[in-house]
Amino acid sequence: MKLIRIDISNIAYTEKSVSMAIFPDLIENCEKLFFETGVYKNGPTTIETCLSTFGNPGEALFKVYIPTNIPIEGNDEFQYLEHFTIEQCVSEVTPFDEHFLPKIEELKQYIHDEGLEMLGDTVFLAILPIFGQHFVEINIPIKEILDAI
| Number of domains comprising the chain | 1
Report pLDDT for 34.
64
Is residue 74 a part of any domain in this protein? yes
CATH number at residue 30: 3.20.80.10
Size of the chain in residues: 149
- Alpha carbon 109 to its chain's center: 19
Catalogue the E-assigned strands of 20-58: 46-50
- Give alpha helix (H) positions in the chain: 23-31, 100-113
Is residue 118 a part of any domain in this protein? yes
Is residue 149 a part of any domain in this protein? no
User: In this predicted model, what pLDDT tens digit does every residue of 92-139 receive, in sequence order?
Assistant: 999 988 778 899 999 999 999 999 999 999 999 999 988 888 899 999
pTM above 0.85, yes or no: yes
Parent domain of 119: 2-141
Give me the sign of the Cα torsion angle 55, 58, 60, 64.
Answer: positive
Residue 124's DSSP bridge partners are 48, 139
Report pLDDT for 107.
94
